Structures are given as C-alpha cells and as structure tokens.
Amino acid sequence: MPAKLSLLGGFPVKKLFVALVLSGGAPSLEGVAHEPGPVVDAGTPTMAAPVVNCTITGHVELVRPTNARATEPVVVSLERLANSPAVKTDPPKTANLYQRDLAFVPSWLVVNKGDSVAFVNDDPDFHSVFSVWALDPFLIPQSRKSVSGTRLFDVPGLVPIRCDIHSKMRAEIFVLSTKYYAVADSRGNWRIEAPAGKWRVRAVERNGASVVTEVSGCDSPVSLTLVQGPAPKQVRRDGTNYKYEP
C-alpha cells in the first residue's frame, strides 16, 4: 500500500488513506474524486491536471572588468524550491572536453548533475586535468594523446578545470541541479521553457559570481545584474606557481 500511495503525486495522501480505510475494500476514489490534482493509478480514471508550460524570458547584465572578453558565458538556470513543480531528469550523458593546442576545448561546458565528462587529449604533449574545488576535487594524471579519463560530476556548482603543466589552460564546468537552463546570448538575453511554478533563478559567470531571484508562474521578463568576479590566479594543484613549461 505505501508503494501505491507514493504514486499519487500531487494528491493529499493522508486524506486519501483515510478514504481507503473507510471504504474497507478495493481502492476507490469515491468521495474524494472532487479533489484537484493528478492521480496515477492503473485501472482508475485519471484526472490529470494539465501541465502549464511557460516561456520565461529575461536579461542579465554582466558587469565586466574593462579588460574582460565580451564572450564570457553566463548560465541562467531554474532551481527547484520546496513547492516547485516536479522535474523528470534526463538520462545521464557524457560530454567531451578536449585538450587541443595547449588549451581546453571548449573552454566551458554546462552539464547536469549525474552527467560525465570525457577529457580527451588531442595533443602530442602531456596534459593533466585537475580541480581543487573544495566540494569535488579530483586529479586525472598526465597522459599523452588518448582519452585521458572520464569523470562523473554529481555535485552541482562551478568546477574550475586546470592542467598541472600549462599555466594558461583553463576551463570551467557548470554542473546544474536542473535541466531548465539557458546560456545568455551576447546581449544578455535568455529564455527557458519550464513548467509553471515557483523557481529560484540563478545566474552564474565563469569566475564564480552569481545572483539569484525567484519567479512564480510565468512571470517574466526577469532582470538580473551580475558583477563578474576577479579572474582566478592560475596556480598548480599544490598551490605553487607554474615554473617550467615545456
């Protein structure tokens, strides 16, 4: 019975349980059929509430230091709150991030929590891959041309990726807890299709600065201002400066 009750998403389970006990027989929705909300129960009529999808639009103004590149990414996402609509997650995926011509290509990626990234060395040179992000540090040791290694990313956040040999190699992986996201275009505009509800809107830039607000229903446009953080100092995995670069 508990497993069956757990399928009744959106239904007031306590009240239904009482109704079932009182009925004393096969599960029946008699007496509670007027209640709103979807019911998922094979063999009984389905009273599915229509899912209303929204197109939430907005603009994020990225205030950059004067010497920053104009192409810096800003990732805007809708994060679940306690009363947000339920979200079905997509199956895990694996993205490729290459080491090519002494650079990470692409220099940033967006993945969902639970996705993996294959780091592929396309150079004749040795490279390593590491992150010193406190919540999910890792090291893929130096390797020549080959698939260097694949890593699962299951902690949401901004993961800085570096090489322990080359001081200019830099990439960031935006690991999101939600599949509802967009990358703002060069003018700062974005749009996200999502079920109507209450969401936390978070905008993050690659140096780690972020700003949040909330939306309800299909309210938009959403206006955000994000002051870019300082570029991080590039240091080796042990915190020391790069010395010899082959």
Binding site for Cu ion (CB under 5 A): 127, 163, 165-166, 169
Indicate the residue among 76 and 163 with the shorter CB distance to Cu ion: 163
Phi then psi dihedrals of residue 16, to 5 deg: -65, -40
Pick the closer one to Cu ion by CB: 151 or 166. Answer: 166
List phi, psi (to 5°) of 89: -85, 150
Question: Cβ 165 to Cu ion, closest distance in Å?
Answer: 4
Residue placing its CB nearer to Cu ion in the complex, 100 or 191: 100
Least Å from the CB of residue 212 to Cu ion: 34
Residue 83, number of CB atoms within 10 A of its CB:
9
Chain centroid offset of residue 123 CA: 30
| SS3 category, 121 | strand
CB of 57 to Cu ion, least distance (A): 40
Of 172 and 205, CB closest to Cu ion: 172
Query: C-alpha 49: how far from its chain's center?
Result: 27
Query: CB 171 → Cu ion: shortest distance, Å?
Result: 11
User: Which residue lies nearest Cu ion, judged by its C-beta?
Assistant: 163
Contacts of 99 (CB under 8 A, 6+ apart): 105, 119, 120, 121, 122, 123, 127, 129, 148, 163, 169
What is the rounded CA–CA span in Å between residue 35 and residue 238? 60
Residue whose CB is less far from Cu ion, 163 or 201: 163
For the bound state, the minimum distance from the C-beta of residue 172 to Cu ion, rounded and expressed in Å, comes to 16
